[in-house]
A and B are shown apart, each in its own frame.
Chain A
Amino acid sequence: MVKLTIDSKVVEVPEGTTILEAAKSAQIKIPTLCHHPDLPPTAACGICIVKVGNRMVRSCCTPVAEGMEVITRDPDIIEARRTVLKLTLSKHPNECLTCLKNDTCELRKLSADFGIRDTEFANITPSKEEMPLDDSTKSIVLDPRKCILCGRCVEVCQNVQNVWALSMLKRGISTHISPAADNKLGDSPCIKCGQCTAHCPTGALTERDDTQYVWSLLQDPEKYCVVQIAPAVRVAIGEAFGYKPGEITTGKIYAALRRLGFDAVFDTNFGADVTIMEEGSEFIERFVNGKGALPLITSCCPAWVDYMEKYFSDMIPHFSSCKSPHEIVGALAKTYYADKVNIPTEKMRVISIMPCTAKKFEILRSEEMFSSGFQDVDVSLTTRELARMIKQAGIDFVNLPEEEADSPLGAYTGAGTVFGFSGGVMEAALRTVHAIVTGKEMPEDALEVKPILGLDKGIKEMTMDLAGKEVRIAVAHGIGHVQALLEKVREAEQKGEEPPYHFIEVMACQGGCVGGGGQPLGVTDEIRKARMEGLMKDDRGSKQRCSHLNPDVKKLYDEFLGKPLSERSHHLLHTSYQKRELYKK
C-alpha cells in the first residue's frame, strides 16, 4: 500500500494506482475526457491535470508514490483545464443543438461544468464540404469534424476489438481518425460492432439514426408494422428513463411500443428459442451423428460473422448456418404470422429493437435475409434510438402499465432471454441439447452453467458430460479474444489433430449484447454486470427455462416448420457465409 495526500486528505491505495483512481477513492472527481475505464490511459487531452508539488501532471497516467502531495484544484489548475477545453472547442463545431449526442456528449457537459461562455481562440473547424461525413456503412456514422482526437475509438477498435478499422492518420493539425488510406468505413475492416460509438465522448461516432424512417412507416396507414425487442434491450433501456442498470422493463417496453403505433409486438427471445432448436439440432448432428465439422461455432452475432468472414474465412465450415434470432422472427413474421392474420406480406414491415449497431448491417448482408420473398427485417433500431422515440412521443415510460407481447411470436423461455449475455447462448443450447440427447431434462440446479458466465475472463472454457461423452466448450466475448481461440482450432486442424473444442460461442462485445454497441452510453463493467444479472433474474422468473419447452415454439414446428433442420427451416432460418476482403481498393 502507498500513502499519499490528495487535497490534504490522507489516502492509502495499492501500489500502481493512478492519481485519478486514488482521488476517486477519496470522493474527489477529477474531470476527464480522453480517459475511459475500459481502456488504458492515452493521456491525450490534458484535462485531468493536477499538481504534484510545483509540477503539473496528468492524473490519468501518473501512478501514486509514497508521501506524494497532490493538489487537484487551485486557480492555476482550473485555468489550465479551462484552456484545454477552450482549445478543444476551437476545433469543434458549435452544433450542439442539432447533434445526436446532444444530451450525452462529455465535451458539452464539461464545457457546461466549467462555465465556458466565450473564448479568445478563433474557431477553425473545417466546413462540412472540406471534411465530409462518412455514412458509408448502414450502422455507424463518422463525423470527423466533431472528433477531438481523444483516441478512445482507435484504442477500442485496435486493441480491445482487434479489428483495426480506425486509426490516427497524419500528424499535428492534420491528424484525423480514419481507416487506412482514408478509405470509408464501409470499405475498411470495420465489423460494425459499434464499440467506437459507445466509447466516443462526442458526436464524432454515432449509430446511424433510422428513427425518422420508422416514424414514416408508423404513420403510413397502408403499412402493418411488426416490432420485436432483443433480450438485452429490456435490462438497459430503463437507464434512459432513470432506472438502475439491469432493471427489467419488458412489460413497459411492450406497452410503449403499442403506444408508438406498432400493430404487433413480438419478442426476439422467441426467435432465440427457435435458434436453439435449430442450432442445438445442428450440434447434435455434428457431435453425436458425426455429420459436419467440429467445433460448431455460434453465429448469432453479426459483428462476429463479419469479422470471421474477413479475418477467419477458413472457419466457415465450422459456423452454424442458423440465422440470428431477430432474422428468424422477421422471416417467420412475414410467412407464418402473415398467413395467420391474413396480411399481405408486401404491406408488412418488421422493425427490430437491438442493443447492436451491426444488426443494421445484418438485415442486408446476403440474399438469405430476403427468405420470405421480401426483406425479412426492414429496419433495425438500437436501444438508444428506441429511447429517443419514446421520449419524442411523450410517453411517460416510468408510469406505464406492464403489458404482454402478442402471440404467436412473443412468448419466450428463460433460455431465450439469456442470449443477451456472454455464455448465455451456450447455456441455452446445452439445456436443450442435454434434454434431446439424454431424453431427460437438466436438473434445475444445473441450468445455470457457471464456468462460462461472467465478465472476468475473455475466454471461458469447460468440459461437460453428455451421455457419457465429453463435450469441450469455449466461450469468448470481446472480439479481441477470438484470435487466440481460433488459431488453436486452426492449428489442430492443420496438424490433423482432435479439435480442442466441440462447441464455441462468440459475442463481439465485452459481456455480450448487454454491453452492445447500441446500448445506452456510459457503460462500464459494473453496468454490464448489472444488466447481465437482470437477464439472469428474468431467466429464473420464467415459467419455462428451456427453449424446447416453449409451447409456441412447439406449435410453430407442429403447424409450420415440421422439425428442426427441415427443408422449410433451411429455407427460412438458415444462411451461408463467404470470404470478404478487408479493404475494397
Chain B
Amino acid sequence: MADDKVKIQEDTRKMLVKWKTKRGSLIMALHEIQGAFGYVPWDSMEVVAEELKIPMAQIYSVLTFYNHFKLTAPGKVVISICDGTACHIKGGQSVIEAFEKELGVPAGTTTEDGLFYIQIVRCLGCCGLAPVVVVNGKTYGRVTPLDAPKIVAEWRETMAKEGA
C-alpha cells in the first residue's frame, strides 16, 4: 500500500504541472486524475491540495457535488446496467437486482475482491436492444435476470485468463 501511495502521489504531481499555473482548474485536474486511476484517490487529493493550494474541504465538496466523480476504486470489470426509459420499461430494474444478488453488493459499489463494479446508467444509446448491459465496452442486449450469472461467470473466466 505504501508503494501505491508513493506512485499515486508521484503520478498526480506530474499531472498537475500544467494545472498549477491556471486559476480555476480544479475540476479539470480532478477529471484527469479520475481518467488515470478510474477514481480520485485520497492520496491524490492530498497532492492536489498542496500543489493547487486548495483546502481539502473544498476539493471534497466539489468531488461529492458532482455525481461523475468516484471516490473509491471501481472494479476491474465495470458492469453498466441501463435504467433509462426504454430499458426500465423492458425490465431493467430486475436485471439490476439480478446482478446485485449475483455479486452480493449494491449498485454503485465494488465487490470485496475489487473485481466487479456495478453502475446504473441512463441510456446507452441502443434502446432497440433494451434492457441493455455493457461490460467493459462489450454490449449485451435483451438481457434477462437469468443472464446475470452467465455474464458474471464469463467475465470471471476472462479475468482469470488475463491473470487478474
Does B bind A?
yes
User: Which residues of A are interface residues toward B (Cβ below 8 A)?
Assistant: 158, 164-171, 179-181, 189, 582-583, 585
Give Cα A171 to B63, complex, Å: 10
Indicate whether B85 reaches chain A with its CB closer than 8 angstroms.
no
- Please determine whether A167 and B42 come into contact, CB atoms closer than 8 angstroms: no
- Please determine whether B65 and A164 come into contact, CB atoms closer than 8 angstroms: no
Give Cα A166 to B57, complex, Å: 7
- Please determine whether B58 and A181 come into contact, CB atoms closer than 8 angstroms: no
Cβ contacts under 8 Å, B45 to chain A = 180
Min distance, Cβ A154 to any Cβ of chain B, angstroms: 8
Name the interface size band of chain B: 10 to 19
- Please determine whether A164 and B64 come into contact, CB atoms closer than 8 angstroms: no
Min distance, Cβ B59 to any Cβ of chain A, angstroms: 7
| Given A181-B42, A585-B42: A169 in contact with B64 (beta carbons within 8 A) | yes
- Please determine whether A164 and B56 come into contact, CB atoms closer than 8 angstroms: yes
Interface residue from A168, A170, A171, A582 paired with B56 (Cβ < 8 Å): A582
Cβ contacts under 8 Å, A168 to chain B = 61
- Please determine whether A158 and B64 come into contact, CB atoms closer than 8 angstroms: no
Interface residue from B42, B57, B65, B71 paired with A158 (Cβ < 8 Å): B57
Extra pairs beyond A170-B65, A181-B42 (10, CB < 8 Å):
A158-B57, A164-B57, A167-B58, A167-B61, A169-B60, A169-B64, A181-B56, A181-B71, A189-B56, A583-B56
Q: How many A-B residue pairs have CB under 8 A?
A: 38
- Please determine whether A164 and B61 come into contact, CB atoms closer than 8 angstroms: no
Interface members, chain B 57-78 (any A CB < 8 Å) = 57-61, 64-65, 71
- Please determine whether A167 and B65 come into contact, CB atoms closer than 8 angstroms: no
Chain A interface SS verdict (over half)? loop
Give Cα A158 to B57, complex, Å: 9
| Given A181-B42, A585-B42: A171 in contact with B65 (beta carbons within 8 A) | yes
Min distance, Cβ A556 to any Cβ of chain B, angstroms: 44
Which of B42, B58, B60, B71 has the largest number of chain A CB atoms within 10 A? B60
Cβ contacts under 8 Å, B61 to chain A = 167-169, 180
Chosen A-B contacts, 17 in total, with CB atoms closer than 8 Å, are A158-B55, A164-B56, A164-B57, A167-B61, A168-B61, A170-B65, A179-B57, A180-B56, A180-B57, A180-B59, A180-B60, A180-B61, A181-B42, A181-B60, A189-B55, A189-B56, A585-B42
Cβ contacts under 8 Å, B56 to chain A = 164, 180-181, 189, 582-583
- Please determine whether B64 and A170 come into contact, CB atoms closer than 8 angstroms: yes
Give Cα A158 to B60, complex, Å: 13
Which of B45, B56, B57 has the largest number of chain A CB atoms within 10 A? B57
- Please determine whether B57 and A171 come into contact, CB atoms closer than 8 angstroms: no
Name the residue of chain A whose CB is nearest to the CB of B55.
Answer: A164
Min distance, Cβ A343 to any Cβ of chain B, angstroms: 47
Which of A165, A169, A179 has the largest number of chain B CB atoms within 10 A? A169
Give Cα A179 to B61, complex, Å: 9
The 10 closest A-B pairs by CB, nearest first: A180-B60, A164-B55, A167-B57, A164-B57, A180-B56, A169-B64, A170-B64, A167-B61, A180-B57, A171-B65
Min distance, Cβ A486 to any Cβ of chain B, angstroms: 15
Cβ contacts under 8 Å, B42 to chain A = 181, 585
| Given A181-B42, A585-B42: A165 in contact with B57 (beta carbons within 8 A) | yes
Cβ contacts under 8 Å, B57 to chain A = 158, 164-167, 179-180, 189
Return the CB mask of B97-123 against A: 1 if under 8 Å, else 0: 000000000000000000000000000
Cβ contacts under 8 Å, B71 to chain A = 181
Min distance, Cβ B24 to any Cβ of chain A, angstroms: 18
Cβ contacts under 8 Å, B58 to chain A = 158, 164, 167
Cβ contacts under 8 Å, B59 to chain A = 180
Min distance, Cβ A484 to any Cβ of chain B, angstroms: 14
